[in-house]
A and B are shown apart, each in its own frame.
Chain A
Amino acid sequence: MSVELNPNLPDPDGFYDELLQAHTGLSDTESEAYNARLVLIMANHIGERETLTRLLDAAR
């Protein structure tokens, strides 16, 4: 599967807002840990090994 790097997310502003709300009240360390958990959950949801390798590269 190719990696989608063109706009693909409905309501990007709403998502961005919700993402930051999820961090409300967390310390810096807790925020980092939350992000790590989120990445792992999203990776599992994507579930395609090769896609994940490409995503890791795209984020560099």
Chain B
Amino acid sequence: MVAVRYQTAFQLYPYEKVPEQTAQMAPVRHPVVIVGGGPVGLALALDLGKKGTPALVLDDHDGAGLGSKAICFAQRTLDIAHRLGASSPMVEKGVVWNVGRVFHGERQLFNFDLLPEEGHRNPAFINLQQPYFERFLVEEIRAAQADGALIEIRGRNQIAGLEQHADYVTLQVDTPDGPYRIEADYLIACDGARSTLREMMGLSFDGRVFEDSFLIADVRMTADFPTERWFWFEPPFKDSGQSALLHKQPDDVWRIDFQLGWDIDRAKEMNEDRIRARVDAMLSSQTGTVPDYELVWTSIYTFQCRRMQSFRHGPVFFAGDSAHQVSPFGARGANSGIQDADNLAWKLDLAVNGLANDVLLDSYATEREYGADENILHSSRATDFMTPKSKISRTFRDAVLHLAAKHSFARPMVNSGRLSMPCAYDGFALFGPDALKGGPAGARPGAPCPDAPDGNNFLLDQLGGGFIVLSIGGEAAPAVSAYSITAAPVHIDTPSDILRKRYLGDQESAVYLIRPDQHVVARWASFDEAAVGTALAKAIGKG
């Protein structure tokens, strides 16, 4: 029996019986089994497959779930998707907004225009419904399969049991044709906030529960309505709670959130007339007229900020929502999950090829636990600003809002969610020296490589998905190897002004060692083979 827990927006990987399900067959051992075909599991499978490592994805449904999930994908996610070959349809379909307005009650406090920073291939973020994001990843997986990548997605394959051994895992899998067993050298749990694998392994998931309920309404309007983000503190519309948010998605759909408080009657609040009354009030608040709209989706949710204590348990790794959850403010759920996949894929690839040790595999957990803590911190701060927990925090919050209307200094303190930025692994064990005097902080060891124009293209295109020795200005550096791993050379003879600013500062030349996830390992003023080799060994946990 495979229970249907939700409706799907797109059927992407219909159930098909595979030979392994034949009775009496000994369980087949797979190098990597990924449980969960959401954004994280799919990105990980695509990354592994493109590197030449087989990846098997099991999902208990057969496509992308319908409903309101992630809608905001940040630049780092798009850069990763670009490396995987999947970003073009995302950016084409996605909505970019630049103008935001912040209201307090009836009053507009201020507006802002997010002028895009020049010299990046991808925008700072796009709004795109999660089902599309998943569909575009699956389409790229299909293209990679056609090119020979060993990726397999099995729909309606549900995990019914797990046996953990020292260096592999046996899974009992339920299907519409009954159960079968498989084995995995590495098992990756990308099965979401209610992770079945986490529960089966009896692992705790502790953190802070925020006592609040949010009503989500996705509405379709074909009338002209500005592509702007509107955010209200204490919205003036009747019974609309502490805050309200309106922003646009593709297909003429606007996402609306109402923060209703904890003590609500969920059934009553889901009543369509009641939802429509709130939506009418919001949409007409600036013009006085209610545009025609259709309610596409409504739901009520609460959230928590928490993470697992450790993201790795022997051969089992947790990635995405199964490992950490944050409030939705700042779009840190799916975006941080994609960074998990990005961090894990190359380490697993080396492990499957016998080139990784436990130090490298453990670094996935320590690096991404740190990333999760940073995201939980930012999202907790936003939540505390939006829902003050004490009298004094309300006093300060209201003071910030009051001052923000008059003085621009207070506007950066207004917090309705901070845009997800990738974390820099400052001071982590696998990173090497910063030996570029006056080197720009944005490209310091530990940081993800900033993009920059290079000729008619962009720098990140040249970095690909392996180790890279990047020499900028000066002489071209050669390839460097350590422990059977080679960092391929990329040379930029004449850097663009922006590339110079982001990588050289006031230096004339530099040499960077870059990881497969495009984080900087170390940097120097000039090439020194021994130094680069030492840093490369360190980057794979053998330093």
In the complex where A13-B381, A13-B418, A17-B381 touch, is A6 in contact with B392 (Cβ < 8 A)?
A: no
**Cβ of B408 under 8 Å from chain A:** yes
Q: Chain A nearest CB: distance from B392 CB in Å? A: 4
Determine which of A4, A6, A13, A20 lies in contact with B378 in the assembled complex, contact meaning CB atoms within 8 Å.
A13
Determine which of B381, B396, B403, B409 lies in contact with A6 in the assembled complex, contact meaning CB atoms within 8 Å.
B409
The interface stretch among B83-91, B179-187, B383-391 is B383-391
In the complex where A17-B381, A23-B390 touch, is A12 in contact with B396 (Cβ < 8 A)?
A: no
CB-defined contacts of B411 to chain A, threshold 8 Å: 7
Closest to B402 in A: A59
**Cβ of A46 under 8 Å from chain B:** no
Q: Are B392 and A7 in contact, CB atoms less than 8 angstroms apart?
A: no
How far apart sit A16 and B414, CA to CA, in the bound complex (Å)? 10
Q: Are A7 and B415 in contact, CB atoms less than 8 angstroms apart?
A: no
Binary contact readout A1-38 vs B (1 if CB under 8 angstroms, 0 otherwise): 00011111100110011011001001010010000000
How far apart sit A13 and B381, CA to CA, in the bound complex (Å)? 7
How far apart sit A5 and B406, CA to CA, in the bound complex (Å)? 9
Q: Are A58 and B407 in contact, CB atoms less than 8 angstroms apart?
A: yes
How far apart sit A41 and B407, CA to CA, in the bound complex (Å)? 23
In the complex where A23-B390, A31-B392 touch, is A16 in contact with B381 (Cβ < 8 A)?
A: yes
Binary contact readout B131-145 vs A (1 if CB under 8 angstroms, 0 otherwise): 000000000000000
How far apart sit A58 and B406, CA to CA, in the bound complex (Å)? 9
CB-defined contacts of B385 to chain A, threshold 8 Å: 16
How far apart sit A59 and B409, CA to CA, in the bound complex (Å)? 12
CB-defined contacts of A19 to chain B, threshold 8 Å: 396
Q: Chain A nearest CB: distance from B398 CB in Å? A: 13
Q: Are B393 and A12 in contact, CB atoms less than 8 angstroms apart?
A: no
Determine which of B381, B406, B408 lies in contact with A7 in the assembled complex, contact meaning CB atoms within 8 Å.
B408
Binary contact readout B407-432 vs A (1 if CB under 8 angstroms, 0 otherwise): 11101110100100000000000000
CB-defined contacts of A6 to chain B, threshold 8 Å: 407-409
Q: Are B381 and A5 in contact, CB atoms less than 8 angstroms apart?
A: no
14 contacts between A and B (CB under 8 A): A4-B409, A6-B407, A7-B408, A8-B409, A13-B381, A13-B415, A16-B396, A16-B400, A16-B415, A17-B384, A20-B396, A28-B392, A31-B391, A31-B392
A: residues with CB less than 8 A from B are 4-9, 12-13, 16-17, 19-20, 23, 26, 28, 31, 58-59
